[in-house]
Chains A and B, each alone.
Chain A
Amino acid sequence: MRYTWKRIVIESLPLLIFTSFVSTFAGSAMESAISIFTVYPGLLLFIPAFLDGCGDINSTFASKIACTMHMLGPDAVSFTGKYKNILFNNIIFSLLSTFAFFTIFSIVTQIAGTMVGIVFPSLEKMLFIVLSAAAIVSLFLIMVAIITTKIVVKYSLDPDNFGSPLVATAADLFAANVYVFICFIVL
């Protein structure tokens, strides 16, 4: 029998406790920015979508480079050599998705939110906060994905088991902190 409830509990608890602990730091960042959220609730409205967007886009990137590595070997994930264009194209896709998604989404959210009476900073400030935070987070998560994949492959482990989960956890930890930090700088 592959699954027994005891085995599931024993194997999953350490990771669940670790990710819960890491997530509290994202919560702390939001807690420290309550004063800003009280003035501009629109910034709070945007947070779950921001965290999910950063996590989803960059987990996809991690999954893509893991898949490429499985198909072509460890040299496929490199900034030099004959496969460098594959990695560059993946990075370009990740950054383009980030900018396209967050630009469209910021504008639509601001328009819809304002219509139902939620207060936002001006559109320029909102775009600056969201896009600069998203760019910093994405570049960081791309590096996390590449470095994790390279280290994991070196030890003959499967990058699928490490890349995406680690990127998702790093997104939880990092995205909220960067977003709140940029809010404090801009507002």
Chain B
Amino acid sequence: METSKKIKKPRGHHARIGGTLFWIPSSIRDYFEKVRNLDVSSFIEQTVEVDIVNSLAGEIEEWNIVERIYKHIVNIDKNLREALPSLILSGFLSLFAGYLMTVMLEDIKNFPGLFVLIVPIIGLRGAASSSFASRFNSAYHLGLLNKSFNSFFEGESLQNIYGYLVSASIVSVLIGYIAYLSCTLQGLPSMPLTSFIVISTISGIISSLLLCLFVILLTYLSINRGWDPSNIVIPLLTTLGDVFGVLVIYYTVLIVGGAL
């Protein structure tokens, strides 16, 4: 009975196929006509036998799933229309990070190995900040966050902030070691280990603090405007993380570079 209730929901028609009456949802009708090449042109309004409906239930359910996949997941036109504008917008924001790198090019030459450091520091936003934003998103859907700004600094949300800042700070220090090790292993010219660690620690911690603030503000705004934070925060975070990362490294090198 449960199965027949489930398949009576969609719009459809009764149809005679090979002398037997079927109740067929519109999508299934297309399926029989176009895929199976069966004749379902003669429609007759009549109550259908429950066992016939049940015999088709598995196929109908499977076809409905396939139809949903084609409509929402592999609809190439729709996906291109939705994906391209956001990709291009995100690409233009990334260009700003690229532009900053071209401005830094002279400084980069004076600090051999700086590129080896830049990529992982930028990459921190992908791994640490996205997880941080994702935990806020889960907290919101679990009811741990609400429209109050104070709820971001209470209980588990506060633990989330501490956890993000502590792990990002530890990794910021380690990235200095890792980049130096990577240069040494690959035989690339590199600045002294101290320079790697000072630049990675300062820039890693500052960019993590900026991104932390950014995630909190954007999540707060999303919740208060009724948007799903997962659709807004993470896509913006990955792109703006590039810009923050390169910008902070640039100023760190400018300010402390002379002393190294």
Contacts and interface: CB of A to CB of B under 8 A. Distances in A.
In this complex, the interface size class of chain B, counting residues with CB under 8 Å from chain A, is: 35 or more
A3 B160 contact: yes
Interface in A76-110: 83, 86, 89-90, 92-93, 96-97, 100-101, 104-105, 109
Given A8-B160, A9-B163, A16-B167, A27 B70 contact: no
B205 to A, nearest CB: 14
Interface string A5-40: 111110011011101110111111011101001100
B79 A24 contact: no
B102 A68 contact: no
Contact of B84 (A97, A109, A176): A97
Interface residues of A, number: 65
A21 B69 CA distance: 37
A8 B164 contact: yes
B178 A24 contact: yes
B68 interface: yes
Interface stretch (A52-60, A121-129, A138-146): A52-60
B73 A48 contact: no
- The prevalent SS among residues of A at the interface is helix
Contacts of B102: 37, 41-42, 44-45, 118
Interface in B98-147: 98-99, 101-102, 105, 108-109, 112-120, 122-124, 126-128, 131, 135, 139, 142
A27 B95 contact: no
Contacts of A172: 119, 123, 126
Given A24-B179, A28-B186, A37-B105, A52 B242 contact: yes
Given A17-B174, A19-B126, A20-B171, A97 B119 contact: no
Contact of A68 (B73, B95, B171): B73
Interface stretch (B18-26, B44-52, B85-93): B85-93
B105 A21 contact: no
Given A13-B170, A21-B182, A64-B73, A168 B126 contact: yes
Given A20-B123, A49-B95, A7 B105 contact: no
B98 A90 contact: no
B166 interface: yes
Given A16-B127, A86-B69, A97-B80, A52 B116 contact: no
A55 B92 CA distance: 15
A12 B163 contact: yes
A68 B84 CA distance: 22
B101 A93 contact: no
A89 B66 contact: no
B175 interface: yes
Contacts of B95: 45-46, 48-49, 109
B164 to A, nearest CB: 7
Contacts of A90: 73-74
Contact of A46 (B98, B115, B119, B168): B98
Interface of A: 1-9, 12-13, 15-17, 19-21, 23-28, 30-32, 34, 37-38, 41-42, 44-49, 52-53, 55-57, 60, 64, 67-68, 71-72, 83, 86, 89-90, 92-93, 96-97, 100-101, 104-105, 109, 118, 168, 172, 176
20 contacts: A8-B159, A13-B170, A16-B167, A16-B171, A23-B120, A23-B122, A28-B186, A31-B183, A34-B105, A45-B101, A48-B95, A48-B122, A60-B83, A71-B65, A72-B69, A100-B80, A109-B95, A118-B99, A118-B102, A172-B126
Interface of B: 62, 65-66, 68-70, 73-74, 76, 79-80, 83-84, 87-88, 90-92, 94-95, 97-99, 101-102, 105, 108-109, 112-120, 122-124, 126-128, 131, 135, 139, 142, 155-157, 159-160, 162-164, 166-168, 170-171, 174-175, 178-179, 182-183, 186, 188, 238-239, 242, 246
